[in-house]
Amino acid sequence: MARLALLSALLLALSPAARCGPLDSGALKGDDVVIVDFDTLRADGLHCLGNPRPVSPRVDAFASGSYLFTQAVSQAPWTLPSTMSYFTSLYPHQHGMTNKFALFTETRKEEARLPRRFVTLAQVFKQAGYETAAFTGDAGVEGRFGFSRGFDVYYDGETFAGFETTFPMALAWLKAHPKGPHFLFIHGYDVHGQYRGLGPGSREKEFLALRMKTIKGEPIKMSKAQVRFWRGRYDRQVLRADGRFGRFWDELSKLPSSKRTVVLIIADHGDQFYEHGGFDHGMTLYDELLRVPLIVRVPGQTGRRVAQQVRAVDVMPTLVDWLGLPASPALRRQMQGRSLLPLLRGKPLALDALSETSFLLQAEKRSLRTPDGWKLILDLETLAPQLYDLRVDPEEHDNLADARPALTKQLSARLLKLMQSPAPR
């Protein structure tokens, strides 16, 4: 009987559920990594992060056994710069991918491309011996911008495609490459307003008209009924994307490699529905656009809710640290984010969050979100500051810039310092 108990204990110690032990650097070495990017999913689009409607049962269940970061901040309010920031751990002004064109005049257009001196997340995994693949919805994550670097396979063949396209392709690739280890990036526009799968009744022309007025700075008027309609449409898209994720997770869990797979859910940015007089995304830096889901499921770890502020730029250094990936001095200099492992071990991390937009050359705004709950937004064209206390005003309606001039000046200096941080060489 004692021998049987000893054997059971040994088997338990060697099982995938127990193998991880403490949260140490390199603890997940050799594990597969799957990143699922829900394009345009604001944090409170999920029920587990504040949506009163139960529109995300499968993601909520996934999050219950994961590390759920409740205050994750994107570095930009639209796809290209925000995704490139967590692909490189650089701020938009450093990686330079602030618009699709580096030069745009009446006589000349020059497409933007990530400078070769910067290393992408996929290149880090590839250099570490991983098989790499990405299946995306094109548009803001086209491979030509630099996203495809380091991937053995990079699919961007359908513009504004959703998970109904990319999840099956990703599963087929995993089954065709059983050896691994794998790094897999899956992206879908299911929640985006221009998602190609919306079909009849989506009121596409009305959507585009509201979007263009916001981009041009023209005032729009929306009734409460209109706001309910557009938010309702958004919630239906979230529910449909959630179901597709659930089916993907069911199939992924059947694969032998799933017992050694880290799955990370993220969004590049959120969306706005007239909260501050605008529509769609890209032009402003309010939290409906910048606060995003970040959920990490780790084999052998039960996870927990993490309330401290983190940034999208922290994704790369955290994965490098957690998986023990080779990191040259140049890569260490490049990464502007911080590994979140100390935070997950219970140690405090006070992280300022810088976000930026230069969307379509129509907006020049920067914001600083502090770890103690202050938010400063600065319009670089008018130099008009906005200051919000997110602890009592999470919806950012009470501008305290005039009432708190000393704090506004102090946070402006911190923001300016981050804005001027040069691209590492």
| The predicted structure's pLDDT at residue 21 | 56
Closest CA to 376 of 316, 268, 286: 286
Taking only the tens place, the pLDDT of each residue in 256-310 is 999 999 999 999 999 999 999 999 999 999 999 999 999 999 998 999 999 999 9
User: Cβ contacts of residue 157 below 8 Å, gap of 6+?
Assistant: 138
The mean pLDDT of 94-110, rounded to a whole number, is: 75
**Distances from the Cα of 46 to the Cαs of 57, 214, 295, 321, 422, in angstroms?**
9, 25, 11, 28, 36
What percent of the chain clears pLDDT 70, i.e. is strictly above it? Answer: 93
Taking only the tens place, the pLDDT of each residue in 388-397 is 999 999 999 9
Q: How sure is the predictor about 103, in pLDDT bands with cuts at 50, 70 and 90?
A: low
Taking only the tens place, the pLDDT of each residue in 176-221 is 999 989 999 999 999 999 998 988 778 999 999 999 999 888 899 9
User: Cβ contacts of residue 95 below 8 Å, gap of 6+?
Assistant: 81, 84, 85, 88, 114, 115, 118, 423
Rounded Cα distance between 136 and 358, Å, is: 24
Is the pLDDT assigned to residue 106 strictly greater than 60?
Answer: no
Superfamily (CATH H level) for 22-352? Alkaline Phosphatase, subunit A (3.40.720.10)
Rounded Cα distance between 192 and 199, Å, is: 13
Q: Please check whether the two domains, 22-352 and 364-425, share a CATH topology.
A: no
Q: Give the orientation angle of helix 315-323 with respect to helix 79-88, to 10 degrees.
A: 30
The mean pLDDT of 111-132, rounded to a whole number, is: 96
The mean pLDDT of 352-368, rounded to a whole number, is: 91
Is the pLDDT assigned to residue 362 strictly greater than 80?
Answer: no
CATH fold of 364-425 reads: Arylsulfatase, C-terminal domain (3.30.1120)
Q: How sure is the predictor about 104, in pLDDT bands with cuts at 50, 70 and 90?
A: low
Rounded Cα distance between 173 and 214, Å, is: 40
Q: How sure is the predictor about 354, in pLDDT bands with cuts at 50, 70 and 90?
A: very high
Rounded Cα distance between 257 and 323, Å, is: 16
Rounded Cα distance between 90 and 383, Å, is: 25
| The predicted structure's pLDDT at residue 128 | 97
The mean pLDDT of 51-72, rounded to a whole number, is: 98
Taking only the tens place, the pLDDT of each residue in 12-25 is 333 444 444 568 89
The mean pLDDT of 43-72, rounded to a whole number, is: 98
CB atoms within 10 A of CB 16: 12
| The predicted structure's pLDDT at residue 363 | 79
Closest CA to 237 of 205, 278, 207: 207
| The predicted structure's pLDDT at residue 425 | 80
Domain ranges of the chain: 22-352, 364-425
Is the pLDDT assigned to residue 102 strictly greater than 70?
Answer: no
Task: Provide the mean pLDDT of the chain.
Answer: 92
* Choice among 158-172, 282-296, 307-321, 356-370 with the minimum mean pLDDT: 356-370
Closest CA to 138 of 73, 89, 80: 80
Q: What is the pTM of this model?
A: 0.93
